[in-house]
Chain A
């Protein structure tokens, strides 16, 4: 699932795209694109002219006219093909995702709690179904009861099973994934055909695809260029009459088609679809083309520390009992406090304890496990004998201890500061509210993350690390990882406030989140990426869903957005720059027979007027398929600063756009010149 065929043109896709290139000749479809619509009109006119030239000879030979007709027809087909192949690729990608969730039996829970076996297609929003070990989950939904390990490899490609349970931020399940153990009760959250994936497929397919604001603005610009050339070509008729220079209809239409920006006009929608497709290939489902575009504009990136900047989780690396407490006693307490702690941190504490020669004790009946909550910021155990063991954040534990009337040991404050300033996280362990000692958890910063942040900085994106750590630890890690700013001891509303503050300064903010309490911030952010494992509320609030649940994905999304816009810009530049050569090919050809002096303008020394015009239109047609790979793959984004990027792209696509047609038209003329 993760490894996609890298070839741009798979045989099956090409076949499908070829078919729909013809279907897209429908004038209603063509009308959506003003540039190509005018080409279509020109093609029709040329067909009429070709037929006319069978009997009369004032418009040139039939062969010449007919050839121009075919070239224009192919120009249209090529443009359609570009859009069709982009659609086909997107659809193929989406289909392979969809395949995982087709027609699976669902154990529907009836009102009277009896279970009925129905097909997944019959599930409606609000229905409740049950999944047991070995079942494939029939639809997207939210767990309302139970806990299960789930194999999500069908969607994410990640083989390690994940735990999903009711009530928390990990309550969401995706259709097509498989329950490995336990039993869950799930409520269906989407109507059939309205899941994110369905929406995505609809976006890729023509009908419901809305043009993004930037695409609309560009279309306006291209339409106005087209209009300018309508004026240029129409006014040329009386000019030529004045100069007693008859111009054939074929020459008029060729000049027109060559001058209007057909290259970008033909590739514009393909570029947009390819952008969404690239996102999908990165396993990100976008809810609109606009979201991808906005991603390219992001100024501020909010990144969760855990999983993004640091490898998964912190590890307990050291412990320091307070003065007067024996290390053995402390290790014992540390082990007890973590026995029920399923988090990787908890497990690492147990590992640390085991390395000190302790084994996991058999526990008496009546043990009460105290779960971590955001309020207490501690967890632990209450033994039947009344012993209360807790571990938690320093300030929370200090409060608890002081409240109970004890003095917080001086050396613990010192240790905590030392640990924090080294980027570690201190955890205090207490027994009956008496501080016993401190555990040092260390973060391990991901390899290569500094380079990525450097890259983002060059793109002009500010990175902000969001962490529950205390400010000292946060600062250390932020500094070490190279992020620009951090939010320490972050509560969900802190994210929201940060986003609002940045937005008030006109910045665009992107963030990733999974929990229900992330939902408001996800909705507030300009680009909110919800993890697929996140709650339905989070997924509803964001405008993208990441199937991999990979927090570093945001960086990729920003680049995809930038690529999309850049591809549009560079191909527009290329298309317009092409006009210079085309003018010099066609304009002398129009007048040369009656004004021989204009041979001086024929700087390419093209063979004959017919050959010059044919070479120009053929070049104009061929450049579209030649650029399809670029349109689909996108122009490579290099974070070298805006000015350097502009210089580079102007050189490649601007100067290249001026020079390439000179060469191409000349080469074509050598061939075409043999016949005309």
Chain B
């Protein structure tokens, strides 16, 4: 087999094999069962709870959960703003990087707070080490932990019983960080260190090249940040070019591990669902639907990137390595295409290649991954998005078997449908309205220095920017002059709305359902753990979520593809 393909196949299977025991472990953590880390981390957590005065055993209803979640986010925002706007004079700033301007700080704070990591600065020149560690890396941990805690609340609410007591938010949150994110990040960072990723607080190093020039090479606490940015579907790299940078992602091995880390926790969360609810078949179906969708994007993307650019082929240029524009030679076309899909189906957004240079259809698959945003998806929040699609699928499928719809023993009625509909509606609304606004402004002012590539590709760039924001992805098609007030503000609004509403919605639905009377299954009940139901969810995702973007995609990547075919 082609070694490039063998490489990505290995990466994927490694991920799934690691995700199964991890899922079991996560389920134990949320169920409060004994795990092997109890003796080490138990005292640390207890100390933390004692200091903060949190009664972590006190059960909360869904409204209290949301209250806790949103309140703590406001505090983090304040902290982030403070650090970013004062990092210039604060310690740990060997390169003398300046404090951020208020609008840039605002943008950065919001984008890290919502687990998006849309970076309008470059790490080398825009951040102090204190900012990287105490602000950005901190947010990368806690926002991932927030998403996982929210998911744990929904898991709890899906149990077969009637209650409004859904565990304690702070307990879920702290344990997500200490028991799951921290140990995994630690292991990954150590391996990255071995592979050559720096981990220090020293300033730029001066190196004399073979040509005799002197170059300044940025360093810093890189390994730690790369680990959590990959594992927590954050995606905000230490350096500007993210995992394409040789110090962030030095080798093919580090590439495999970083790529596996992107989808590891999102997949493990699905298995955790199965173990936690003791509904393994349901977890397999969810995993199956997500995997089929994922493969539908991966297979053609890898194929297209390995085929090379047809425009270059027409010019008689041989491309037996595939389309290598904007890609790192140490990774190759296949592995870059795989990463591109992995990072967009999850809301990660780290990159190891230039997405602007992907062939048109691969670009479209990257876009579709974010438009659906539920194939594996972000840590915790990916399942929350999928949950909304499941609710809609259950509603229609339930009717089709002649019963008023019920999901895991709870009747789905008008109130839940209202919330699910709003959440399903929100994503296309934010993406299409944003892109429409940008197109409108651009048509009125064609002199704006936004687009380096007008025509279809320029449209794809704008579409990508809003899609990435709405999916809390954070990757960029780039090629778009996005550091302007228009883009900062409009994407900022999209970021906030698209982070919190899709968390509030599923928790509200799950909370309301948990409080309803539990109806045991009968022969007439729709089974949600069958392949047929999986097909139903798949159809809902593709017809409802993906097809809404068909006209927009037609004017972007599809027009580009068909015109230059």
Chain A residues packing against B (C-beta within 8 Å): 213-214, 216-218, 220-221, 223-225, 227-229, 231-232, 234-243, 245, 255, 293-294, 296-297, 299, 457-462, 505-507, 561-563, 565-566, 568-570, 572-573, 576-577, 579-580, 583, 587-588, 590-591, 595, 597-601, 637, 641-643, 645-647, 649-650, 653-654
Say which residue of B400, B456, B558 sits within 8 Å of A650 (CB atoms). Answer: B400
- Kindly name the residue among B442, B527, B539 whose own CB sees the greatest number of chain A CB atoms within 10 A: B539
Complex alpha-carbon distance, A215 and B555, angstroms:
37
Cα-based distance from A598 to B551 in the complex (angstroms): 12
Nearest residue (CB) in B for A503 is B517
Minimum Cβ distance to chain A for residue B292 (Å): 16
With beta carbons under 8 angstroms apart, the residue of B425, B459, B533, B555 that contacts A228 is B425
CA of A595 to CA of B554, assembled, Å: 10
Q: Which of B393-445 contact A (CB under 8 A)?
A: 395-404, 409, 412-414, 416-418, 421-422, 424-425, 428-429, 432-433, 435-437, 439-440, 442-443
The reply to whether A598 and B523 form a contact with Cβ atoms under 8 Å apart is no
Count of chain B residues near A, Cβ 8 A: 66
Report whether A214 and B552 are in contact in the complex, using a CB–CB cutoff of 8 Å.
no
A243 touches B459 (CB 8 A): yes
Cβ-defined partner of B559 (8 Å) among A218, A220, A569, A595: A595
Cβ contact within 8 Å between B439 and A239: yes
**B533 (CB) vs chain A CBs: closest residue:** A646
Contact status A643-B421, CB under 8 Å: no
Is the Cβ of A505 less than 8 Å from the Cβ of B527? no
Q: Are B555 and A240 in contact (CB under 8 A)?
A: yes
User: Are B403 and A221 touching (Cβ within 8 A)?
Assistant: no
Q: Within 8 Å CB of B562, what residues of A?
A: 595, 597-601
27 contacts between A and B (CB under 8 A): A213-B414, A218-B417, A231-B548, A232-B428, A238-B436, A238-B443, A239-B435, A239-B459, A240-B555, A241-B439, A243-B456, A243-B459, A299-B522, A459-B523, A459-B524, A460-B524, A506-B409, A506-B519, A569-B398, A583-B547, A595-B562, A595-B563, A597-B562, A637-B402, A642-B523, A643-B527, A645-B402
- Given contacts A232-B432, A241-B439, A583-B547, whether A506 and B520 have CB atoms under 8 Å apart is yes
- In the complex, B20 has a CB within 8 A of chain A: no
Q: Contacts A221-B392, A224-B424, A566-B401 known; A601 to B536 CB distance under 8 Å?
A: no
A216, A506, A599, A637 interface centre (most CB from chain B within 10 Å): A506
Bound Cα distance A227, B548 (Å): 11
User: Considering the complex of A and B, which 4 residue pairs feature the smallest CB-CB distances, nearest first?
Assistant: A460-B524, A569-B399, A562-B402, A224-B421
Please give, as numbers and ranges, the residues of chain B lying within 8 Å of A242 by CB-CB distance: 439, 442-443, 459, 555
B319 at the binding interface (Cβ < 8 Å): no
Name the contact of A641 in the complex, choosing from B421, B443, B523, B548 (C-beta under 8 A): B523
Q: Is the CB of B429 within 8 A of A590?
A: no
- Asked if A642 and B401 sit within 8 Å, CB to CB, the answer is yes
Give chain B residues whose Cβ lies under 8 Å from the Cβ of A599: 562
Q: Which of A214, A218, A642 contacts B524 (CB 8 A)?
A: A642
20 additional contacts, CB 8 Å, given A214-B404, A218-B399, A601-B554?
A221-B395, A228-B424, A228-B425, A228-B544, A229-B548, A231-B433, A238-B443, A239-B551, A239-B552, A241-B439, A297-B404, A299-B524, A460-B524, A561-B402, A563-B402, A565-B399, A576-B396, A646-B526, A646-B536, A650-B400
Restricting to B496-549, which residues have a CB under 8 Å from any CB of A? 517-520, 522-527, 530, 532-533, 535-536, 539, 543-544, 547-548
State whether A566 touches B399 (Cβ < 8 A): yes
Closest chain B CB from A611 CB (angstroms): 19
Whether A642 lies near B527 (C-beta < 8 A) is yes
Which B residue's beta carbon lies closest to that of A211?
B414
Q: Are A591 and B555 in contact (CB under 8 A)?
A: yes
Residue B565 at the chain A interface, CB threshold 8 Å: yes
Distance between B498 CB and nearest chain A CB, rounded to angstroms: 14
Instruction: Give A187 to B412 CA distance when docked, in angstroms.
Output: 44
A232–B551 contact, CB under 8 A? Answer: yes
Assess A642 versus B525: contact at CB under 8 Å? Given A220-B414, A506-B409, A565-B404: yes
Asked whether, in the complex, the Cβ of B435 is within 8 Å of the Cβ of A565, the reply is: no
User: Contacts of A225 on B, CB cut-off 8 Å?
Assistant: 544
- Which residues of A are found within 8 Å of B399, using beta-carbon distances? 214, 218, 565-566, 568-570, 572
Q: Which residues of A are found within 8 Å of B539, using beta-carbon distances?
A: 577, 650, 654
CB–CB B433/A235 < 8 A: yes
Shortest Cβ distance from residue B59 to the other chain A in the assembled complex, whole angstroms? 22
Also in contact, A460 and B435, with CB within 8 A (given A572-B399, A579-B543, A637-B402): no
Interface check B89, CB cutoff 8 A: no
B186 interface hit (Cβ, 8 Å)? no
CA distance A506 to B519 in the complex (A): 4
Question: B403, A562: Cβ atoms under 8 Å?
Answer: yes
Does B550 belong to the interface (CB within 8 Å)?
yes
